[in-house]
Structure 1
C-alpha cells in the first residue's frame, strides 16, 4: 500500500470512527446516565437519514434539511422521554428492552407509511461535490472531510457541555447519584429529558450527514446499532471520552481490516472488543 492509498484509508477510518462516535455518544449517555437499554437507538439514525432525503427534496438544500431534521429529532426525543421512557427508569432492564424492541417495529412501520420501502439516494450539496487530488489518479471527496469536520465540532461541543457548564455538572451529578441530586433541588426529570433528546438528536444528525454516501433504505438502523454497542462496551458505559476513543479504534480496525485482511474483516472488531474486555472488563474508561 503506497502513501496515497494509506492516507485515503486513514481518512476513511477517521470519518467512519467519528460517525460512530456521534451514534455511540448518544447511546452511552442514555445507557450510562439514565440506565436505559435503548435498542431503538439505531432507528433514530434511520429516521435522520429519511428526514435528510425528504427535507432536502422539499427545501432544495441538505444543510436546511439537517437543521430542520435536528430540531424535529430533538422534539421527538423530548416527546418519547415524556410519554414512555420516564416511566421505565426504575423498571427492570428486560422491560426497557421489550419497550425499545417494540419501538423498532413501530418506527419501521411509520417509515414505511411515510416514505415507502424503496431505496433512495440523497443528492450531495453542490458546494461539496468535488474532490481533493492526492495523486494523478487518486482523490478524496470533500464531503467526507465535511462529515469529519462537523463530527469533530459536535464532539468538542459535547465535551464542553458535559465538562464546562452547569447543565453538564447536573448531568454528571445525576449519573453519579440520582437521589442525592434530587435532594439538592435539581429537577432530575428535566435533566433526563435533555439527555435523552440530546442522544436522539446526535443519532439523527449522524443519519442525516451519512445519507449522501450510504443511501437511504429500510432497516438501515439495525446494522449500525450493533456497532454502537461495541463502541460503548469498549469505551466504557457512560464515558463520552471512552466512546470517542473506542469509535476511532473501531473505525481504524474495521477500515484497514477490510483492506489488509478481508477474510477476517468481519471478526476483527469483535476480537478487539474481546481483547479489551479481557484486560479491562469495565471498558477503557469508567464513567
Structure 2
C-alpha cells in the first residue's frame, strides 16, 4: 500500500466527515434548541440536491444551483416549521417521530411525482473539475477538497454565529431556558423558525454538494440521516463542536475501515474471503465506535452545556 493511496483514502474520510457535519450540525442545532427529533431532515437534504440539479440544468451554472439549494431547503424548512413542527413542541417524542416520518413519505412521493423515479445528475463545475497535486506526489480531486474547505468555513461560521452574535446568544439561551427567553420578550416562534431554516439550509447544502458526486434521486437522504444521528450521538446531542468531531470520527473510521480491513484480513485468508469479511466488519465499525463512546461517555464526547 503506497503512502499516496493512504492519503487519498484519508482525505476521502475527511470529505465524508465534513459532508456529515453539514447534515449533523443542523440536526443537532434543531434538537438542542427545540428538543425536536426531526426524521425529515434527510428529506431537506434531498430537496437541496434536487433544487441544485434542476437549476443547474436550466441555467448551466452549478453555482446558481448551489444558491438555489440553500434557498429551497431553507424555505421548505421554514414552511414545515410553521405548518407542522410548531404543533409538536409540547408533544411527546413519539408524536414527533411519527409526524416527521410522515413528512419523509410526503416529500418522497412528492419528489417522485414531480421529477419521476429516474435519477438526475449534476456536473462538477469546470473550475473544480481537475485534480490537485499534494505534498509527496499524491493527487486528489479539487472538488472533494472544495467540500472539505466549505465544511471548514461552515464550522467556523457556525462557531462565530453561536458564540459571537446576538442571534447566537438567543440560540444559546433558548437551549438553556426557553420559557425565560420568551418571558424576556424574545419572539420564540420566530427564533425557532430561523433555527429550523438554518438547519434545513445546511442539509440542502450537503445534498447539493454530494449531488455532483452521486446521482440525485428520491430517498437519497435516508441513509445519510442514519449516519447523521450516529454523529450527534457520538459527539453529544445539541453540541456543534461535538457534531464536528463526531462527523470527522465517523467519516475517517468508515472510509479507512472499508479500505484497510480487507487488506488486513488478506494476511491470513484468501482475497475473496478477506474482502467479504472485511466489508462486513467495516459496515459495523462506526456503530462499534458509537457503542464504545456511549459506554465511556453516555452523554457523548462534547455534551451541550445546559
User: TM-score, normalised on structure 1?
Assistant: 0.97
Q: Distance in 2 between matches of 1:52 and 1:227?
A: 22
Q: Distance in 2 between matches of 1:153 and 1:63?
A: 17
Q: Structure 2: which 5+ residue stretches go unaligned? A: 263-277
1:138 shift after superposition: 5.6
Q: 2:113 corresponds to which residue?
A: 113
Q: Distance in 2 between matches of 1:16 and 1:213?
A: 11
Q: 1:240 to 1:135 in 2, by over 3 A?
A: closer
Q: Distance in 1 between matches of 2:190 and 2:244?
A: 26
Q: 1:273 corresponds to which residue?
A: 290
CA RMSD of aligned residues (A): 1.4
Q: 2:87 corresponds to which residue?
A: 87
Say if 2:16 is the partner of 1:16: yes
Q: 1:124 to 1:178 in 2, by over 3 A?
A: same
Contact 2:45 2:73 in 1 (8 A): no
Q: Distance in 2 between matches of 1:278 and 1:185?
A: 41
Q: Structure 1: which 5+ residue stretches go unaligned? A: none
Contact 1:4 1:135 in 2 (8 A): no
1:134 shift after superposition: 5.1
Q: 1:134 to 1:169 in 2, by over 3 A?
A: closer
Q: Secondary structure at the match of 2:212?
A: helix
Q: Secondary structure at the match of 2:140?
A: strand
Q: 1:198 corresponds to which residue?
A: 198
Contact 1:129 1:143 in 2 (8 A): yes
1:132 shift after superposition: 1.9
Q: 1:130 corresponds to which residue?
A: 130
Q: 1:96 corresponds to which residue?
A: 96
Contact 1:182 1:188 in 2 (8 A): yes
1:150 shift after superposition: 1.2
Q: Distance in 2 between matches of 1:130 and 1:71?
A: 28
1:168 shift after superposition: 0.3
1:2 shift after superposition: 2.0
Q: Secondary structure at the match of 1:219?
A: coil
1:147 shift after superposition: 1.1
Deviations 1:225-265 (A, max 9, x none): 11000001001110000000000000110010000114211
> Quick check: which has more Rg, 1 or 2?
2
Deviations 1:190-249 (A, max 9, x none): 111111001100000000011111221221111101100000100111000000000000
Q: Secondary structure at the match of 2:284?
A: helix
Contact 1:29 1:239 in 2 (8 A): yes
Contact 1:34 1:175 in 2 (8 A): yes
Q: Distance in 1 between matches of 2:284 and 2:168?
A: 37
Where do 1:25-104 residues align within 5 Å? Answer: 25-104=25-104
The number of aligned residues is: 287
Contact 2:44 2:77 in 1 (8 A): no
Q: 1:241 corresponds to which residue?
A: 241
Q: Distance in 1 between matches of 2:59 and 2:154?
A: 24
Contact 1:162 1:168 in 2 (8 A): yes
Q: Distance in 2 between matches of 1:28 and 1:134?
A: 34
Q: 1:284 corresponds to which residue?
A: 301
Q: 1:228 to 1:136 in 2, by over 3 A?
A: closer
